[in-house]
Chains A and B, each alone.
Chain A
C-alpha cells in the first residue's frame, strides 16, 4: 500500500443474510482527488462507507483508509477523516452551540477559531435547537463539524440530498475550497449526477454491490462516445468486432455504436466501409451512468 491512495479496498464484501450488499469491491481513491461514488439507492454505497469507517464489519476482504486497516485501526482512521453521514444525523435536543461544544470535546483536533470561521460562512443560529433546523442547515452544521479538524479525507454520504440548488452549490463550494484546495481528498457518494459531474474528477459506479467502473471524469467524457453511422451498403457484422466497442444498436445500414475506448481506432475501422455519415456524439454522465446501470434505477436527475 502506498501513500498515493487514501482509500484502498481489496475484495471487500458485506453479506446481509442472502443479500450481497457489497460484492468483491476493489476500489482505489487517489490522494487529492474528488471521488464521486455513484449508484442507485441500495446499490451498496452507504454500506461501503460504513465499512471504511469501522461502523460495519466486512464479511470478507480488506480495506485501508490512509493506509490503516479499518478493522484494526478504525479509531485512528476516524481521527483523521471527516464524515458527514447519510441524512446528517445529529442530537436533536442540543442547540447549535451545544453541538459544537460536544464535537469540540470528542473531535481529534478541534479549533474554535476555525469552527467560528465556518459558522460565519453558513450563518447558523447558535441558540437554535438542532431539531428546529432546516434540512439544509442541518447538513451545513454536520459539515462544519467534519471540516473543523481539517481532515485529510472528507467522506460524504449523499451530502446534498434534500438541499435546494443554492444551498447545494454553497455546500459543495465550501467542500472544494476547504478540502480540495489545500490538497485533501473528498470521497462523496451520490445519486445526484449533476453535482458529481460538476465537482468530481474521478467517478466510480456501483450497482447491486458491484463496482462497475472507475474512471477519470475527463477521460470518461473523452472516451465514452456514441457513434452514429449510416452506411451506404449493409456491412459485414464483423466490422463491429473491436475491443473499444461496448455495444451496437440498430440494423441494416443504420447503427449506433457505443465506444468506451480507442475512439480513433473505432472510427478508422468504420470508415473502411462506404458510408454517408459517421458522427460522434458526446455522452454526459447521466447517459454513461444509464449505460452501466442498465437504465432502470432509482436515479433522480436534478
Chain B
C-alpha cells in the first residue's frame, strides 16, 4: 500500500507538470497582487459604507500589513484556489489511466497496485504542497521587495492548516478517481462533497468540523498559533481516505 516506484513517479510528474505550473502561476499572481493592492484596498474599503461589525473587523485587519496579508491569503484567496487545485490534481490520478486505456500497459510492468496507488498519490500530493508553499513564499518575497515589514513566523503559521486541508480535499478527489474511473465524475463527486463539507461552517457549533474552517484558520489569524491538533486530524483523515482508495484499487478489475 505504500510501495514507491520512481519510474512511475517520473511519468506522473511529467504528466502533471502543466497543472503544477499553471496553478502555481495563478496563486503567485494572486499573492503579488495582494501585496501591491494593499494601499488601494484599505482606502477603498474605508470609504464604502459598511455595517459596524464588518467595519471594525476590516479596520482591525487593515491596521497591520501582516494581518492584512494573512486574512486575504489564508482566509480567502489561497484556500479557495487551493481547493480547486487539490480537486483537479486528484481527479485523473487513476481515472486518467482507465479512460486512456493505458492501465493495462502500466500494469504489464512488474508494478504492484500498491506501488501504483502510493506513487501516484504521493506525487500529486507533493506537487500540490509545493505549489502552495511556493506561492506563499512568493507572497512573502514580494512583500519584502515592496519594502513592507512582514511578520514571517506569523504569516507561515497558516501554512500547516492549509496544507492539511488541501491534502484532505486532494485525497477525496483521489478516492473518487479510483471509484468512478472517470476524471470528470471524480471532480464532480469530490466537488459536491467539498461543498457539503462547507455547510457546517455556517453553523456555530459545527464550524470546527469543516475543512474550510481549518484552512481559513481564523484562530491562527488572531493568536498566531498553529492549530496543530486539527491539522494533524485532517492529515490523518487524508491517510485514511488514501487507504480506502488503495484498498479499492487492489480489488479492481481492469
Contacts and interface: CB of A to CB of B under 8 A. Distances in A.
Contacts of A103: 109
Interface of A: 50, 53-57, 74-76, 78-79, 83, 85-87, 89-93, 102-103, 105-108, 142, 146
B205 interface: no
11 contacts: A56-B254, A78-B110, A79-B110, A83-B108, A89-B101, A90-B102, A90-B105, A102-B10, A106-B7, A106-B8, A106-B111
A89 B110 contact: no
A108 B110 contact: yes
Contacts of B10: 102, 105
A142 B101 CA distance: 14
A223 B212 CA distance: 75
Contact of B104 (A89, A93, A102): A89
Contacts of A78: 107-111
Interface in B88-113: 100-105, 107-112
Nearest to A54: B107
B52 interface: no
Given A89-B102, A89-B104, A57 B253 contact: yes
B102 A55 contact: no
Nearest to B251: A57
A300 B251 CA distance: 35
Given A50-B254, A89-B105, A102 B11 contact: yes
A76 B109 CA distance: 10
B43 interface: no
**Most chain A Cβ neighbours within 10 Å, of B8, B10, B107, B109:** B109
A85 B7 contact: no
A85 B112 CA distance: 18
Contact of B254 (A55, A83, A92): A55
**Most chain B Cβ neighbours within 10 Å, of A74, A83, A106, A108:** A106
Contacts of B8: 106
Given A56-B254, A57-B253, A91-B11, A106 B100 contact: no
A103 B110 CA distance: 11
Contact of B111 (A75, A86, A89, A91): A75
Contacts of A79: 110
Contacts of B111: 75, 78, 106
Contact of A85 (B100, B104, B253): B104
A225 to B, nearest CB: 40
Nearest to B108: A83
**Most chain A Cβ neighbours within 10 Å, of B11, B101, B104:** B104
B253 A105 contact: no
Contacts of A50: 104, 253-254
Contact of B253 (A56, A91, A102): A56
Contact of A75 (B15, B105, B112): B112
B7 A53 contact: no
Contacts of B108: 53, 78, 83, 85, 146
A79 B8 CA distance: 16
A57 B107 CA distance: 13
B101 A55 contact: no
- 9 smallest CB-CB distances across A and B, nearest first, come from A105-B7, A79-B110, A83-B108, A106-B109, A89-B105, A106-B7, A56-B253, A85-B104, A78-B110
Nearest to A55: B254
A78 B105 CA distance: 11
A53 B107 contact: yes
B6 interface: yes
Nearest to A89: B105
A83 B107 CA distance: 10
B4 to A, nearest CB: 12
**Most chain B Cβ neighbours within 10 Å, of A55, A57, A86:** A55
Given A102-B11, A106-B7, A106-B8, 18 more contacts: A50-B253, A50-B254, A53-B108, A56-B253, A57-B251, A74-B112, A75-B110, A75-B111, A76-B110, A78-B108, A83-B108, A85-B104, A85-B108, A102-B7, A105-B6, A106-B109, A106-B110, A107-B109
A254 to B, nearest CB: 52
Nearest to A93: B15
A103 B102 CA distance: 13
B34 to A, nearest CB: 35
